[in-house]
Structure 1
């Protein structure tokens, strides 16, 4: 991408470079990163396509494409990721918000709640979204990672729910007091022997603590089930994201803990994605 180029030429060259590096959706990534380098909205890239790139924009674009070619996630390069219609600030300290997690949001919003606990808050996308969608609700978010707590706090401020959100560093329930009518979690559920099969973007650039329990992928559900009854109000709900093959095992763990009316919610691709249970 050296020499004078139009934005269209630079974008085409970048897409070819990313394609050769084995990046999925290279044209999309080239477009998003050009918009970021030019500090414009992605929808406006077409407007600058015929124009020569200014040298400083070309230099920023070159750096971004070089990093993407070695599989640094686009979200980390632009510093944000969209989730449920909102933009969340992200970094290598937290799991990227993912579209399939919106299944958990939809399931949680299907019934009323007033006080929600988010176990393993990460970027804050779940708690912040639930509070933004339910303006009278309050919530607590916990994470073992101090950096994640700071990231979630920043996103709470960004979406103006900080007055209704308490974010605490905690190992699951260890620093949690009180009872909640809704408890949600997207815990680390990838088994240790599955880690090698993840993409470079995930395995090399997202926090291992948020991906795997280092065991069979069910450790977090066992830890949650062991204490959840003491923190749910009567008729309170527990909703967790799961891996597509874990529904039966997680349902059994929750049943053994004394929860009832246990069910599974599929994502938009028809895969098991959320297990929900009640304290009756």
Structure 2
């Protein structure tokens, strides 16, 4: 058996991770059912044989590249604990920019919003947590991902969110929305990053789009004008080199007041337009 302190010092076993220490803290806390701060309060705690076997097994899987979120089955987004699995993307901190922008645009407490390609439900549920008076429809093509989103919705108790299995707008009845948001697939199929890091374990259908990653964004922009109220907004996350191309797609679809916003790294990762 080994102590918490001894296990925390095993970062060298994760040479392929750029967050090895954090990975170990999260996995160890997960096995012990304790927050990360507890690990440093009780560094001499001796793991039982069962706990040590479980931790060793997770560490080995992480060393092979498997995402920490898949190993723990959970990822925090907008301070919400979300269940995750291999059926959908792992929510990422940079997507919180989309939530922040939507909340800034719409301080009012009553509106109708549509989240396209909801995945875990992260964006829709984050918005629901801040605006309980909003009615939010969250669409997801994958049946498994839609089931996961519904599990997260129920666990968090957000009755103002409706999960719908739909390939973009296919199963969304014509109705006026004030806001449409989406984090769609936007990676080019030839992008070498698809063979690196966590994305190797995520569904390609949630990552890759035709036409150098722009096909789904083009479809969303074109169809959104049919579903938005006059004055409504479309917000789309995209790749760090795609902002100019996405602005052109928004303009071709008939949007006004088109703008792109930078993430905390200084990259334009979000484009918005008004009908």
The separation in 1 between residues aligned to 2:145 and 2:54, in whole angstroms, is 28
- Structure 2 equivalent of residue 182 of structure 1: 179
The separation in 1 between residues aligned to 2:230 and 2:164, in whole angstroms, is 24
The separation in 2 between residues aligned to 1:43 and 1:199, in whole angstroms, is 34
Residues 1:26 and 2:15 are matched in the alignment: no
Q: CA RMSD in A?
A: 1.3
- Structure 2 equivalent of residue 76 of structure 1: 70
- Structure 1 equivalent of residue 36 of structure 2: 42
- Structure 2 equivalent of residue 96 of structure 1: 90
Instruction: Kindly state the Cα deviation for residue 52 of structure 1 after the two structures are TM-superposed.
Output: 1.8
Instruction: Kindly state the Cα deviation for residue 122 of structure 1 after the two structures are TM-superposed.
Output: 0.4
Q: Does the CA-based 8 Å contact 1:192-1:215 persist in structure 2?
A: no
Instruction: Kindly state the Cα deviation for residue 199 of structure 1 after the two structures are TM-superposed.
Output: 5.7
Offset from partner CA, 1:50-81 (integer Å, 9 cap, x none): 12211111011011101100011011111111
In structure 1, stretches of 5+ residues that fail to align are none
Q: Does the CA-based 8 Å contact 2:194-2:200 persist in structure 1?
A: no
Q: TM (normalized to structure 2)?
A: 0.95
- Structure 1 equivalent of residue 113 of structure 2: 116
Deviates more, 1:252-261 or 1:210-219: 210-219
Residues 1:201 and 2:187 are matched in the alignment: no
- Structure 2 equivalent of residue 134 of structure 1: 131
Residues 1:278 and 2:269 are matched in the alignment: no
Residues 1:144 and 2:141 are matched in the alignment: yes
Instruction: Kindly state the Cα deviation for residue 38 of structure 1 after the two structures are TM-superposed.
Output: 1.2
Residues 1:7 and 2:1 are matched in the alignment: no
The separation in 2 between residues aligned to 1:101 and 1:78, in whole angstroms, is 21
Instruction: Kindly state the Cα deviation for residue 200 of structure 1 after the two structures are TM-superposed.
Output: 3.4
Where has structure 1 moved over 3 Å in runs of 4 or more?
198-201
Instruction: Kindly state the Cα deviation for residue 143 of structure 1 after the two structures are TM-superposed.
Output: 1.2
Instruction: Kindly state the Cα deviation for residue 250 of structure 1 after the two structures are TM-superposed.
Output: 0.7
Residues 1:235 and 2:238 are matched in the alignment: no
Deviates more, 1:43-52 or 1:54-63: 43-52
The separation in 2 between residues aligned to 1:11 and 1:55, in whole angstroms, is 17
Q: TM (normalized to structure 1)?
A: 0.93
The separation in 2 between residues aligned to 1:222 and 1:111, in whole angstroms, is 23
Offset from partner CA, 1:147-194 (integer Å, 9 cap, x none): 111111111112211x21111111111111212000000000011111
In structure 2, stretches of 5+ residues that fail to align are none
- Structure 1 equivalent of residue 151 of structure 2: 154
- Structure 2 equivalent of residue 169 of structure 1: 165
Q: How many residues align?
A: 271
Residue 22 of structure 2 aligns to a residue whose secondary structure is helix
